[in-house]
Chains A and B, each alone.
Chain A
């Protein structure tokens, strides 16, 4: 239930059903049962246009924008301003979009192509788009997930001004702090059910957190202090360009030692992806040197890098980690099928592959009907376990894992964290990239922060507080003196 002119926060963990609920409200999914009331009347949304007609606007987690269209085209799409014969009235569209943006403090350039805009600017376009549709209720689905702290603050400010203009807002998030900051009312979801509704003044963050998770959260993993050994990964002056030719990783240097975990924090899109891909030989290195497990792997192919003793848990497990149509057993040897004992010369050894699969399935508790099941049919958590089982049972001296627990259930997260610590205790070097600060602090012996392709640290995990690391993720440097104008790449 949302009142006019209020901010209603929907709080819940990944997979709690927040986004599904909102997609139903927006007519994208269809409810199996139950009904929706708008202004007291039951309504049925068969498509987003029904929802739009009822004054519901939505800012999706994954923007619903067309990259090759201009801002004005995107905003007016579906409600185009036309002259006779259906010709587009571009001038009027430009003017109206510009005005609308000014009115609510959301500056946008109507003529810019959306693909050339920053994420924050794209989000403004999404909001303007909803306002253009005269949305009385605005649903914002995890809007801060892709924003820097500053951009988040701006957004929260915009939400305030929208509220004052009499718009209702539904703010979906899993971040407690933001919820407390702007909410007029908070509803907590877990496992697809409402588990509580409260006002911000009435509950503490800890209470809300407990409601979200359903039990007290274990912060951190029990682990002995690290005993760092020799340098296993040595990155020197690494520069990598992305597909658009822009510098994504900018002159980075750092080391990871045997027996320690280095975690790299950062908002997505600050070069972490390219850094990992470059180390693994998946992206080309523009300049600099990478030494892994005692070998120069700067220009190595992915196979050479993997074979020299590097394990890799890719960021996008569906795209890069697994072949969905192949079986669990085959995926468990995806980067080892050509080596003994799984192959003898050019011939596969199916019995050996099967035997090892059964063993891994048991050891890593992979829930699958059989080793022959297509891996694509497993749940996200089990898919990730397949990857972890594969990579962690290879003899490696360096393990690289990007976003290893993203989107997983709590049980799987704890399991994977324990495995990672185990690996470290066996004397492996571990490099973790994560945009989840909890994970960064839970695992990291040393912590680094990436911002715009540059890195702060790594420094000892107790050197800075979470707040300080959060600031660094937003680009402010604690190392450089203010007089020097900061250490970011601007």
Chain B
């Protein structure tokens, strides 16, 4: 049978979620073009969200006349987005006056919004890296949530169990526990995929729910539950196991931020400077050719899922050891899912992930401020994030909206996937 000419140019494969992922993280598109698309996607998402804000305000709908209505609408939007911005970065004039005050605590308080942004961004870096690493290996890790929970539970357990040792022992042990537990939560779907072909999208989602109920179970046991409490909350993490922070000046920013950057660098190194990273990328892009070239595909799948799980586990450890200091239900607060958006926006590159995490961390931090100031619900941020990703994933749509001419090689039709069986 002679070969159809089309396959000589465009490789067609039937493998899971990877072709379009490869396109989303495609290296060919220029940085400038990427930035433009992301900026326009962000702008469009803000415009659409503004419509939701205005449309859900009864004062606008019931306004007596159009000017009043427009005025209320404007106040709604500017209030919400203004709150978002000042919550994420701070208000320039207050910032300057605080910095000028000369009092150490007041100066520090000028940095409060930035500190909050960094605190929110750090776990997103970990879960973003987790999903990005999976993408590179052709795996779609939707199990970040469960891995975060597993990591947080384990880190919390070690954190409140250890006493009287130095921070140089307790903290690394607690972090390691978080990594290992998360890795286990990723190892299971990895093993199931390599052995039985069970699609990781389904298995990881299911493990999320298992982790949630496991949290409730543990928090109902004597080992975890704080003495004297009837609600599900754990004992408090030993201070030597906590991530050091600037608590002295009332800032929540902690060493987990630095750890996040270091881990991002490590992941970059792993992917592009080691033989294991080479295997991840090769298997992710074409498992058949990788196998023919002697790479153990099953082993790579298991390793990649475990590492991805471990990274998400670090996010959980980061929350418990750096922010909450105890385990309670819901501490993962959709970090795992936000990791998907961070990874997609960051195009699967560690540097991009860090940038995207800062952006979404800012949104998260700002949202708290926004809700406090204007009672616009924090859920708005999730809407904005989802919209940004939709547009970034469909650059053709953004180009159509803004009449930008397509570049060569970008937005070419890509061929996806299936349940991978």
- A406 near B: Cβ within 8 Å? yes
**Contact residues in B for A174 (Cβ distance below 8 Å):** 2
Closest to B269 in A: A347
**Contact residues in A for B22 (Cβ distance below 8 Å):** 325
* Interface hub of B13, B272, B278 (most chain A Cβ within 10 A): B278
Please determine whether A374 and B28 come into contact, CB atoms closer than 8 angstroms.
Answer: yes
**Contact residues in B for A376 (Cβ distance below 8 Å):** 10-11
Please determine whether A302 and B294 come into contact, CB atoms closer than 8 angstroms.
Answer: yes
- A322 near B: Cβ within 8 Å? yes
Residues facing A in B36-56 (CB within 8 A) are none
From residue A404, how far is it (CB to closest CB) to chain B in Å? 13
**Partner-contacting stretch, out of B245-253, B284-292, B336-344, B358-366:** B284-292
**Contact residues in B for A383 (Cβ distance below 8 Å):** 8
Q: How far is the CA of A325 from the CA of B20 in the complex (A)?
A: 11
Q: How far is the CA of A379 from the CA of B8 in the complex (A)?
A: 6
Residues facing A in B76-91 (CB within 8 A) are none
**Which of B277, B293, B296 meets A335, CB within 8 Å?**
B293
Given the interface pairs A301-B296, A302-B294, the reply to whether A320 lies near B289 with Cβ below 8 Å is yes
Please determine whether B289 and A321 come into contact, CB atoms closer than 8 angstroms.
Answer: yes
Residues facing A in B226-280 (CB within 8 A) are 272-278
Please determine whether B275 and A307 come into contact, CB atoms closer than 8 angstroms.
Answer: no
- A36 near B: Cβ within 8 Å? no
Please determine whether B1 and A323 come into contact, CB atoms closer than 8 angstroms.
Answer: no
Please determine whether A407 and B3 come into contact, CB atoms closer than 8 angstroms.
Answer: yes
Interface of A is mostly: loop
Q: How far is the CA of A14 from the CA of B4 in the complex (A)?
A: 9
Please determine whether B292 and A280 come into contact, CB atoms closer than 8 angstroms.
Answer: yes
**Which of A19, A20, A145, A302 meets B293, CB within 8 Å?**
A302
- B62 near A: Cβ within 8 Å? no
- A113 near B: Cβ within 8 Å? no
Please determine whether A314 and B292 come into contact, CB atoms closer than 8 angstroms.
Answer: yes
Residues facing A in B1-24 (CB within 8 A) are 1-5, 7-13, 22
**Contact residues in A for B272 (Cβ distance below 8 Å):** 348
Please determine whether B294 and A324 come into contact, CB atoms closer than 8 angstroms.
Answer: no
- B199 near A: Cβ within 8 Å? no
Q: How far is the CA of A348 from the CA of B7 in the complex (A)?
A: 31
Please determine whether A347 and B275 come into contact, CB atoms closer than 8 angstroms.
Answer: yes
**Contact residues in A for B296 (Cβ distance below 8 Å):** 301, 303
Closest to A267 in B: B1
- A268 near B: Cβ within 8 Å? yes
Q: How far is the CA of A246 from the CA of B43 in the complex (A)?
A: 58
Please determine whether A282 and B291 come into contact, CB atoms closer than 8 angstroms.
Answer: yes
**Total number of A-B contacts with CB less than 8 angstroms?**
115
**Contact residues in B for A435 (Cβ distance below 8 Å):** 1
From residue A41, how far is it (CB to closest CB) to chain B in Å? 30
Given the interface pairs A346-B275, A406-B2, the reply to whether A322 lies near B286 with Cβ below 8 Å is yes
From residue A151, how far is it (CB to closest CB) to chain B in Å? 14
Q: How far is the CA of A379 from the CA of B10 in the complex (A)?
A: 9
**Contact residues in A for B273 (Cβ distance below 8 Å):** 347-348, 350
Interface size on A, residues (CB 8 A): 50
Q: How far is the CA of A337 from the CA of B283 in the complex (A)?
A: 14
**Contact residues in A for B281 (Cβ distance below 8 Å):** 323, 326, 330
**Contact residues in B for A301 (Cβ distance below 8 Å):** 294, 296
**Contact residues in A for B294 (Cβ distance below 8 Å):** 301-307, 335
* Interface hub of B12, B274, B296 (most chain A Cβ within 10 A): B274
**Contact residues in A for B131 (Cβ distance below 8 Å):** none
Please determine whether A318 and B275 come into contact, CB atoms closer than 8 angstroms.
Answer: no
Please determine whether A319 and B289 come into contact, CB atoms closer than 8 angstroms.
Answer: yes
- A73 near B: Cβ within 8 Å? no
- B295 near A: Cβ within 8 Å? yes
A283-322 to B contact mask, C-beta < 8 Å, 1/0:
0000000000000000001111111000010100011111
A426-440 to B contact mask, C-beta < 8 Å, 1/0:
000000000100000
Please determine whether B288 and A320 come into contact, CB atoms closer than 8 angstroms.
Answer: yes
**Contact residues in A for B119 (Cβ distance below 8 Å):** none
Please determine whether A379 and B3 come into contact, CB atoms closer than 8 angstroms.
Answer: no
- A132 near B: Cβ within 8 Å? no
- A120 near B: Cβ within 8 Å? no
Given the interface pairs A302-B292, A324-B11, A324-B286, the reply to whether A61 lies near B2 with Cβ below 8 Å is yes
- B180 near A: Cβ within 8 Å? no
**Contact residues in B for A377 (Cβ distance below 8 Å):** 9
**Contact residues in A for B292 (Cβ distance below 8 Å):** 280, 282, 302, 312, 314, 320-321
Task: Supply 12 A–B pairs (Cβ within 8 Å), ascending by A.
Answer: A61-B4, A174-B2, A268-B1, A303-B294, A304-B294, A306-B293, A314-B289, A322-B11, A334-B289, A337-B278, A343-B275, A380-B9
Q: A: which residues have CB within 8 A of B?
A: 14-15, 19-20, 61-62, 142, 145-146, 174, 268, 280, 282, 301-307, 312, 314, 318-326, 330, 334-335, 337-338, 343, 346-348, 350, 374, 376-377, 379-380, 383, 406-407, 435
Other A-B contacts than A14-B3, A61-B4, A348-B272, 5 sampled, CB-CB below 8 A, are A303-B295, A314-B292, A319-B288, A325-B22, A346-B274
